[in-house]
Each structure stands twice: as C-alpha cells, then as structure tokens.
Amino acid sequence: MSTPAISVRGLRKSFGATPVLDGIDLDVARGESLVIVGGSGTGKSVLLRCILGLMRADAGTIRLDGQDATGGAPEAFLRRFGMLFQGGALFDSLPVWRNVAFRLLHDGMPPNEARARAVAALAAVGLSGRVADLYPAELSGGMQKRAALARAIAARPSVLFFDEPTAGLDPILATVINRLIREQVTALGATAVTITHDLTTVRMVADRVALLHDGRLRWTGPVSAFETSDDPHVAQFITGRADGPIATLR
C-alpha cells in the first residue's frame, strides 16, 4: 500500500481543562474521500486545524504525504492543497474573483487568464459571472460559502478539506456542491476530507465515514456499512434521536 496522504496518530488537544481531541488515529489514503460526522462542538473543525498546524496540538504526530508535519504543514503540501473554512474566510478587501484566483495570481498567472479560471470555478458552484466583481460583504451567506468553495478548488489541488460545504444551502444547490466535491475525487483524483452534518452529503461524497464523539473516532468504515451499522452512536446520528450515547448537552 502506498503512503497515505494524511496520517494522524495519538492526536490530543485540550482547551484549558476540557479535552476536545483525546487520541485521534486517522489515515486517509490518496484519492480517497473521507467524510467526518459528529455532533456540533465535538471538535471536527479543531481536528482539521490541528492537521494543518493552524492550531498546535498538545500531543500526537501528523504526517502529510509521508512527511512529518507535526510542527505545521510543509510548503510543498500546501501548494497542492485547498480548503473551505466553515465560515468561508474570504478576504474582504479583495473582489470575489481575486479571492477565487488568489493562488493562481500569486503563482504568476496573467490576470485575464486567472480571471477566466475564477469565473469558471464560480460557475461550477452555481455563481454567475456578475458576482465576480462584487466584494464578499455584498454576497449572501450561502453565496459567500460557495465563493469560498470556488477558491478552494480553483487551482485544482490534490488534497482538499471541506468544513460543512452544504450548511446553509438550499437542497438543489447542496446537490450541485456534493456532486462537485465527488467530481474532484473521482474525475481529478484528489484526496478529500469533508466535515458535514448532512446525510445526503455523506451518501454522495464519502468513500469512508468517520464518526467523532467524545474526542475519539468512535466508528470508521466504508460508506456502504455506515447506514446499516448497529453501532449505537452511528444509529443515533442517522436517526437523529435525542436519546442515546450522544448527549444533547455539550
């Protein structure tokens, strides 16, 4: 088996006395699409931030493309990487197209070519060319999210992180986005890690699913086994019952 794109061992992170991640072991193979589910506030976003070194983990090792990345993601990895942040994180001092084409422009692509690529990426997330010259503050929440998604994929990265890509979108657009993410993996061969609460996204995007609960990955398996699993955490997550091992007070 080739080295996994992402490999995490014994990852721990606490804020003050509260442990959020309590020994995470995770491998994501090249060209695989992993979907992470779990209750709100269980540490899914923190996990992604720790993997990238945007937040320093308390313990554990992280390897990206086989290289040690415990002190932060190496430059070579980031050059082929794209991320959709949960809040979008568009640069509000730049018009939308410069946001989307950010990496292309900084790699020295001529502006008109970069702009054309940006407009194409915007179209892929269902945003018309009219949006290109607006500023992020002039977009609705869902439009910002989609523009940020366009930014993540515009340079055709080989590793992608998506933090709740369909949150706040209508079901039709959600389908467009889910297809787009799947296409990155199937057609372009990218490795993807997607965080979601949306079972449709799980079904459409995942090769493998991991459920985060109480600081650990309680269940990991192929998507085909997810919905038929008799694990009580998974079952409760799928049915959305309030009673079960996943407490509602957190």
Partner 1 sequence: MIRLLARIGAPALGLLAVTGRLAIFTARTLSHLARPPFHGRELGRALFQIGWLSLPVVGFTALFTGGALALQIYAGSDRFGAQEAVPQIVAIGMVRELGPVLVGLMVAARVTSSIAAEIATMKVTEQIDALVTLSTHPLKYLVLPRVLAATLVVPALVAVGDVIGIMGGWIVATERLGYVSGPYLRSSLDFLERVDWISSLVKGGVFGFLCALLGCWFGMTSGRGAMGVGRATKGAVVAAAIAILAANLLLTEAFFAA
Q: What is the binding site for ligand ATP (CB under 6 A)?
A: 15, 20, 38, 40-46, 86
Please say which residue, 37 or 204, places its beta carbon nearer to ligand ATP. 37
Structure tokens at 52: 């990238």
Spatial distance between the Cα atoms of 46 and 35, rounded to a whole number of angstroms: 15
**DSSP state letters, 15-58:** ETTEEEEEEEEEEE-TT-EEEEEE-TTSSHHHHHHHHHTSS--S
Using CB under 8 A, count the residues that bind partner 1: 21
Residue 48 vs 122, nearer CB to ligand ATP: 48
Q: CB-based contacts of 167: which residues, under 8 Å, 6+ apart?
A: 86, 145, 196, 197, 198
> Could you give phi then psi for residue 28, rounded to 5 degrees?
-120, 120
Q: Measured from the CB of residue 43, what is the shortest distance to ligand ATP in angstroms?
A: 4
Size, binding site for Mg ion by CB under 5 A: 2
Work out whether 168 is an interface residue with Mg ion (CB under 5 A). no
Window 62 to 81, contacts with partner 1 (CB under 8 A): 75, 78-79, 81
Q: Which is nearer to ligand ATP, 42 or 201 (CB)?
A: 42
Among 7, 33, 42, 45, binds Mg ion (CB under 5 A): 45
Residue 42 vs 184, nearer CB to ligand ATP: 42
CB 216 to ligand ATP: min, Å: 13
**Could you give the CA distance from residue 205 to residue 176 in angstroms, rounded to a whole number?**
11
**Is-contact 88 144, C-beta < 8 A?**
yes
Binding partner of 15, given Mg ion, ligand ATP, partner 1, none, CB within 5-8 angstroms per partner class: ligand ATP
Cβ–Cβ under 8 Å, residues 2 and 44 = no
Nearest to 96 by CA among 138, 67, 54, 158: 138
Tell me the C-alpha distance between 59 and 143, whole Å. Answer: 37
- Whose Cβ is closer to ligand ATP: residue 132's or residue 149's? 149
Q: What is the 3-state secondary structure (H, E, C) of 75-110?
A: HHHHHCEEEEECCECCCCCCCHHHHHCHHHHHCCCC
Print the binding letters for residues 59-88 with Mg ion: x by CB under 5 A, - otherwise: ---------------------------x--
Indicate which of ligand ATP, Mg ion, partner 1, none lies near residue 83 (CB less than 5 to 8 Å, by partner kind).
Answer: partner 1
Shortest-Cβ-distance residue relative to Mg ion? 45
> Which is nearer to partner 1, 26 or 152 (by Cβ)?
152
Residues that bind partner 1 (CB under 8 A): 49, 52, 54, 75, 78-79, 81-83, 85-87, 89-93, 102-103, 106, 151
